[in-house]
A and B are shown apart, each in its own frame.
Chain A
Amino acid sequence: MSNPITVKTMSQMLAEGETPDILFWVGCAGSFDDRAKKITKAIVKILNHCNVKFAVLGTEEACTGDPAKRAGNEFLFQMQAMMNIQVLNGYEVKKIVTGCPHCFNTLKNEYPELGGNYEVIHHTQLLEQLFKEGKIQIKGGGEFKGKRITFHDPCYLGRANDVYEAPREVLQKLDAELVEMKRCKTKGLCCGAGGAQMFKEAEHGNKEINVERTEDALETKPQVIATGCPFCNTMMTDGVKNFNKENDIRVMDIAEMIAQAADL
C-alpha cells in the first residue's frame, strides 16, 4: 500500500497537450474524509492498473451541490453547479466517473438543465466495464474467495438511478458467497445519510436508521459489508461499531475490495 499513486490533474494534462478519456470526479468525501480517501486511492490504483487515461480536477473541483439541493437550498446548489459546469466545459469534459452515487446522480441528472452535458457513470459501472474488457482480472478470487459478502444498495445508485446489477456483477468476480439482505435492491433500506441527513442530528425517534440497516446486514452473517458510497460506508461502519462487531466484520467499498483482491 505504500506505492505513491500517480494521478494527474486536468490542467497538468492540458499543459502536456493531452486529453484524458475520462474525468474522475472525486467528490468532497473522497477528497477530505480519511476513510473515504482510501476508496479514492483504490479507484486510482485500479484506473492506473488498467491504463485508463484519466485525470482529476484537483483543487478546481468543488462540491456538486447535492446536499444543498436536498436540503432545499436551490440557490446554493445552482451556484455550485454553474461554477463546476464552467470548469468542466472549459476542459471540454465528455465523460465522468464518480466515486460517490450522490455526485453521480447530480452530475448525470441535474447538471444537463444548467448546461452541463456529460456521460456520467458510477465507479462500479466502470469496474464492470473493465472486467468485461478483460483489463482487470482477479486470479482465483483473491483474498475474498469464499467469504460471505452482503451488498448494501446506495439509494442514489439503486432506486434513484436503477443501477442494481453493476455492483453485484463486480462482486461476483471475487468468487465469494454473495448473500442478499432481506431488504435489497428496490427495497433496500437507506443507511440514513441521504437528503443532507449526514450533516445533522436525526429527528427524535426510537432508533438510528444506520442501526436498523446494520441489523439487516448482520442477519446475513457477513464477513464483509460491501458498499458503493462513502456516506453509506461511514453509516455502516458506525452501525457495525454500535454492535461491537468491528473486529469480525469489515465495511469496504467495492473498489477497495477489487484493488485488494487484485493485489494492487
Chain B
Amino acid sequence: MGISNIIFALILIGASVLFTINVRKIIANIRLGRDVNRSDKRSERWKTMIRVALGQSKMRTRPFAAILHLFVYAGFILINIEMLEIVIDGVVGSHRIFQPFLGNFYYFIINFFEILAALVAISCIIFLIRRNFKKVARFQGPDLKGWAYTDANLILITEVLLMSALLIMNAADPHGGFVISKHIAPMLPQNAETLHGVEQVAWWFHIIGVLAFLNYLPYSKHLHIIWAFPNTFFSNLNPKGKFNNMESVTREVKLMMDPTADPYAAQPAAEGAPQRFGAKDVTDLTWINLMNAYTCTECGRCTSSCPANITGKKLSPRKIMMDVRDRVEELAAAKRKNGADFHDGKFLIGDYISEEEIWACTSCNACVQECPVNIDPLAIIIDLRRYLVMEESKLPAELAGMATNIENNQAPWQFSPADRFNWAKEA
C-alpha cells in the first residue's frame, strides 16, 4: 500500500461521510412535512416500486426517450459493479483484482460494461442534442431557466466524461484488448510509460468524478436515481380521483350537524398548535408531498400534458414540484441556522406559487398519470386551494357564488331545489 492508496482511502471516506450527511439532511427536510400514514398494503407497495422504479413501466409511453434512458440507467447500475473492483484496487493498490479469479468471464463482463459505457455516452450525447439543439418542447419551459437548465447539462456532460475516462483507462491498459477500448488504444501514445500515466490519470479522474457526482446528487434533479425507489414505494394507491378526506373538517362538520352535540364537551386533545386548513407553506404539506418534490426529475412530462399549460396558462405542475423543493431547502436551511421555531416570513403561496397558478388547474390528473416516478402535483394544488378558501376566503368570485348556490339551492347554480325533479314531468 502506497501513499496514493492512503489518499484514495481518505477521499473515499470523505465522500461517503459528506454524502451521508447530505442524505440525512434531506430526510430531515422531508420530515418537516405533516404526517400521513402510508404503511398499509406492503405487498402492493413493493410491486409498485419494482414495476415503476426498477422496471420503469411509466417511461414506455415515450419509447425513444425510454430506450435511451434505459441505457443510461442500466449502465449506471451495472457499471457500479465494476466500481467495486475499482474501489478495492484503489484501496489495496491491486490492479484489476477480480481478473485472476474470473478468467475469461472477466473479459466477458468488462466487454459488456464497455458496450454499456459506450451506450451511456451516446445516449447522453443524444440527450444533450435534444435539450440544447433540437429544443424538445418540454425542456424549454420558463420553469427550467437558470439552474435547472445548467443542472441537466452538467449531469449529461459529466456522464459522458466519466464514461470516456472509463474507456480510456481500459484502452491504456497494455493487457486490455477489450471490445470497445481496443479501438481507442491506437489513438493513445504508444510509449509504455506515458500509457501507464494515461491509465492512472483516467483511473483517478473516473473515480474522483464518480465520488464528486455522488455528492452533487443532493443539489440536483438527478437525486431521482435514489428517491424514485422510496417515492414509488409510498405511492398513492387509491383511485386517482379520490381526494383525501380532511379529518379535522369531519370532526367539526359532525359537531355542527349533530343537534345533541355539546360544543363545550372535551375536545379531542389537539397536539401542539392547531394546524391550518390546507397548505400555505411547505410545513403544511405532508412528507409525501415533500418527498415527491425531492424525487422530481424535472422531465416535464406532467407539464407537457397539462391542459392548462398547453393552453398558455401560467400553471405548470413541474414548476409546482420545483417550487416545493426550493422552498423546503430554503426554509430548512433557515431553521438549521436559527433554530427549529424560526420562520423567515416567506411562504409557498405568494413567494413561490401565485394564486393564478393555483386556480388554473382542472384537476384532470394528467400530470399524475404521466409522471414516471408517481409524483402527485395535484394533491399539492388542492391543499393550496384549501388554504386559500378555508383560511383566507380568497377565491374567484364565481366560485364563491357557486358555493353559496350549493349551500342554498343544493346545486352549483341558482335553481330552486323544489324544481330538481321537474325534468321528469317535462316530456
Contacts and interface: CB of A to CB of B under 8 A. Distances in A.
A105 B365 CA distance: 13
B413 A206 contact: no
Interface magnitude class on chain B: 35 or more
B241 A205 contact: no
A205 B72 CA distance: 37
Contact of A71 (B245, B314, B402, B418): B402
Interface residues of A, number: 76
A62 to B, nearest CB: 4
Contacts of A198: 412
Contacts of A255: none
A37 interface: yes
Contacts of A1: 427
Nearest to A189: B307
A163 to B, nearest CB: 10
Interface stretch (B30-38, B340-348, B386-394): B386-394
B421 A56 contact: yes
Given A76-B407, A114-B250, A32 B241 contact: no
A59 B305 contact: no
A206 B385 contact: no
B419 interface: yes
Interface stretch (A78-86, A125-133, A144-152, A244-252): A78-86
B257 A79 contact: yes
A1 B427 CA distance: 8
B307 A71 contact: no
Contact of B389 (A4, A41, A73, A82): A73
Given A72-B395, A189-B310, A204 B427 contact: no
Given A109-B242, A159-B240, A72 B278 contact: yes
A192 B406 contact: no
B249 A78 contact: yes
12 contacts: A71-B389, A79-B257, A109-B239, A159-B368, A160-B242, A187-B305, A195-B362, A200-B359, A203-B314, A207-B312, A209-B362, A211-B311
User: Considering the complex of A and B, which 3 residue pairs feature the smallest CB-CB distances, nearest first?
Assistant: A160-B241, A72-B385, A195-B363
Given A74-B277, A74-B390, A189-B310, 12 more contacts: A40-B423, A58-B420, A63-B410, A68-B403, A74-B249, A78-B249, A78-B253, A82-B254, A187-B305, A198-B412, A204-B314, A209-B307
